[in-house]
């Protein structure tokens, strides 16, 4: 493994929006690149990396071990935010899945609308469905930005939800 962990432009933008010292929950973490990178660079005080499937969570575990942060990264096998309590995080990242799926995750965790959590959301498809859900449920998009990532134009927004869509 290389000595320097480099994020894709999309994940790099998300990382730049995480407040220093944040308590992070990365939902659908896959390889856990974002929480590992943030831990290596002192960007978070704690991090939970969750995934629905054991395969991606195993890859996350391997990466955390390879980069020396396994003892500080809390890995959880759960559906969306079902295994994460509102007091355990102040920043939630849900990136790389469809907008309808992200909306369903948020709907199942109504505490995400309490105004005390920053949501960094990056849908790969159906961003309009996610925007509609956010609007209908009292969330506010306060920041949004497009980023070119591997030939695809993605957007990321912050609300207390940040959303991103693929162009």
Report the distance separating Cα 163 and Cα 156, nearest Å: 5
Task: Quote the CA–CA distance of 94 and 11 in Å, as a whole number.
Answer: 11
Q: Which residue has the tokens 């990365």?
A: 26
Which H or E run includes 125? strand 118-125
Return the minimum-mean-pLDDT range out of 20-24, 45-49, 155-159, 163-167.
Answer: 163-167
69 three-class SS? coil
pLDDT at 156: 54
Lowest-pLDDT choice from 43-52, 144-153, 158-167: 158-167
**Tens digits of per-residue pLDDT, 83-132?**
999 999 999 999 989 999 999 999 999 999 988 999 999 988 888 999 99
Contact between residue 98 and residue 125 where contact means Cβ atoms under 8 Å apart:
yes
| CA distances from residue 86 to 23, 99, 114, 118, 144 in whole angstroms, order as listed | 10, 22, 10, 11, 24
pLDDT at residue 142, as a whole number? 84
- Mean pLDDT across the chain, nearest whole number? 89
pLDDT per residue over 31-54, tens digit each?
Answer: 999 999 999 998 899 999 999 999
Q: Within 10 A of 133 (CB to CB), how many other CB atoms are there?
A: 18
Domain boundaries, given as residue ranges, for the chain: 9-158
The CATH number of the structural domain formed by 9-158 is 3.40.50.150
Phi-psi region of 74 (alpha: psi -120 to 50; beta: other; left: phi over 0): beta
Q: Tens digit of pLDDT for each residue in 66-78?
A: 999 999 999 999 9
What distance in Å separates the CA atoms of residue 117 and residue 125, rounded to the nearest whole number? 23
**Separation between Cα atoms, residue 50 and residue 111, nearest integer Å:** 17
């Amino acid at each position: 493994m290389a000595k320097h962990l480099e994020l894709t432009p999309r994940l790099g933008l998300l990382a730049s929006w995480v407040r220093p010292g944040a308590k992070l929950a990365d939902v659908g973490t896959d390889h856990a690149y974002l929480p590992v990178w943030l831990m290596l660079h002192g960007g978070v005080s704690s991090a939970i990396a969750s995934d629905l499937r054991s395969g991606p969570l195993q890859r996350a575990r391997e990466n955390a071990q390879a980069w020396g942060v396994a003892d500080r990264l809390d890995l959880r096998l759960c559906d969306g935010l079902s295994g994460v309590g509102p007091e355990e995080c102040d920043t939630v990242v849900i990136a790389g899945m469809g907008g309808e799926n992200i909306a369903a995750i948020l709907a199942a965790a109504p505490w995400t609308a309490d105004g005390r959590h920053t949501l960094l959301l990056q849908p790969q498809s159906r961003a309009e469905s996610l925007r509609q859900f956010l609007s209908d449920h009292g969330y506010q998009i306060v920041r949004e930005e497009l980023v070119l990532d591997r030939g695809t134009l993605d957007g990321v927004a912050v609300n207390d939800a940040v959303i991103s869509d693929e162009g």
